[in-house]
């Protein structure tokens, strides 16, 4: 029987890499362990399917992962070992990085709009494949106690998901729900009422404060311009999805891919002649951003 020690370098923390290795080892009947440390991911794997394990490790890595190198060393086998474990992280000199924040994934969106789901309309839902990473991390290795979620102990339901290898929230560090996670200081209804009333709303997000107003309210837009001393430079227009964006702008396949990608960047697009937005008068281009969470939308497919 063979045993390998693996060092995986790259963007391998905060992307579900340890749960991925755990599941892969279980499917291939391998034993061993995996942990995070300052250099990335360290693992020991033992069994008869090591070549298949290494091939799948490179080819089937989690969608948010980026593998820069896989280093392997043959080490003595441990004949009495059983199972595969995720061990506590080891601290040390940090040479690895953390994944950037990722837009909400389709599975979480389905929960967000499902009245029967316990996370229905919960704006802070996330899983192994999406949600905040870089902006909530205080130190590496990436573990919940070293993030902004440290002050939110998991409720029994979330703890059960976190410990279940078959669940997509297995070892998802920012996981939360309405019972145990952060809450809004004002309801979505209150924020919408303020925006519709012509007010400017400061929304505290992961990376700072986001100033928002109704883009169809010329007076509100002008007040925001005056307060920000931003007389000519355009603001970003937030929309729920690409279907909403297409009401205002023209886009090609590459631009659509950016707006629907995990980064949800601001994209500069050429505007349509109608309808005209007060925020874009005399402009031939509009900055568009598709919302990351879309908690304020009624459904994922509705403009």
Q: Kindly list the averaged pLDDT for each block of 10 residues, start to end, along the chain of length 303.
A: 96 95 97 96 97 95 93 96 96 89 93 97 94 92 94 98 95 96 93 96 83 91 91 84 88 92 87 68 56 43 42
pLDDT value, residue 34: 98
pLDDT value, residue 198: 96
CB 162 within 8 A of CB 172: yes
| Residue 299 within a domain | no
Looking at the fold, whether 175 and 133 belong to one and the same domain comes out as yes
Q: Where are the alpha helices (DSSP H) in the chain?
A: 17-27, 50-59, 106-112, 156-163, 188-196, 218-228, 242-245, 253-260
pLDDT per residue as tens digits for the range 19-37: 999 999 999 999 999 999 9
How many Å apart are CA 133 and CA 63, to the nearest integer? 14
Max distance between CA atoms of the chain, in angstroms, equals 74
Residue (of 130, 157, 152, 155) closest to 264 by Cα position: 130
pLDDT value, residue 277: 73
pLDDT value, residue 10: 95
Domain boundary among 121, 147, 182: 182
pLDDT value, residue 154: 98
pLDDT value, residue 51: 96
pLDDT value, residue 208: 81
| Residue 298 within a domain | no
pLDDT per residue as tens digits for the range 172-183: 999 999 999 999
Q: How many domains does the chain have?
A: 3
Residue (of 128, 161, 166) closest to 26 by Cα position: 166
Looking at residue 27, what DSSP letter applies? H
How many Å apart are CA 207 and CA 58, to the nearest integer? 32
| Residue 302 within a domain | no
pLDDT value, residue 273: 75
* CATH for 142: 3.90.870.30
How many Å apart are CA 35 and CA 33, to the nearest integer? 7
| Residue 276 within a domain | yes
pLDDT value, residue 288: 66
Round the average pLDDT of the chain to a whole number and report it: 89
| Residue 92 within a domain | no
212, containing H or E segment:
strand 208-212
| Residue 223 within a domain | yes
Looking at the fold, whether 146 and 122 belong to one and the same domain comes out as yes
How many Å apart are CA 181 and CA 172, to the nearest integer? 13
Q: Which two tokens stand for residue 232?
A: 């000519």
Facing residues of 41 across strands? 8, 36
Burial class of residue 189, CB neighbours in 10 A (0-12, 13-18, 19+) = exposed
Q: What is the pTM of this model?
A: 0.81
Structural domain that includes position 25:
2-86
Domain boundary among 52, 86, 120: 86
Torsion of Cα atoms, 215 then 220 then 221 then 222, to 10° = 160
């Amino acid at each position: 029987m063979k045993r390998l020690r693996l060092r995986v370098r790259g963007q391998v923390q905060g992307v579900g890499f340890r749960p991925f290795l755990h599941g892969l080892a279980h499917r291939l009947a391998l034993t061993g362990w995996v942990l995070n440390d300052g250099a990335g991911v360290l693992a020991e794997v033992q069994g008869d399917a090591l070549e298949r394990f290494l091939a799948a490790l490179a080819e089937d890595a989690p969608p948010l992962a980026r593998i820069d190198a896989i280093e392997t060393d043959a080490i003595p086998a441990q004949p009495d070992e059983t199972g595969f474990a995720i061990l506590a992280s080891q601290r040390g000199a940090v040479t690895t990085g953390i994944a950037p924040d990722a837009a909400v994934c389709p599975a979480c969106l389905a929960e967000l709009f499902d009245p029967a789901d316990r996370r229905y309309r919960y704006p802070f839902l996330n899983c192994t494949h999406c949600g905040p990473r870089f902006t909530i991390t205080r130190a590496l290795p990436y573990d919940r106690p070293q993030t902004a979620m440290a002050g939110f102990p998991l409720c029994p339901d979330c703890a059960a998901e976190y410990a279940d290898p078959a669940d997509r929230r297995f070892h998802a560090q920012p996981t939360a729900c309405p019972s145990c996670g952060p809450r809004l200081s004002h309801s979505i209804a209150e924020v919408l009422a303020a925006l519709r009333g012509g007010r400017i709303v400061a929304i505290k997000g992961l990376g700072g404060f986001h100033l928002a107003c109704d883009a169809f309210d010329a007076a509100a837009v002008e007040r925001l311009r005056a307060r920000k001393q931003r007389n000519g430079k355009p603001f970003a227009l937030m929309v729920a999805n690409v279907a909403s964006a297409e009401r205002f702008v023209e886009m090609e396949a590459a631009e659509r891919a950016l707006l629907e990608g995990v980064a949800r960047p601001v994209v500069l697009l050429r505007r349509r002649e109608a309808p005209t937005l007060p925020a874009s008068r005399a402009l031939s281009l509009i900055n568009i951003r598709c919302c990351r969470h879309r908690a304020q939308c009624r459904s994922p497919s509705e403009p």
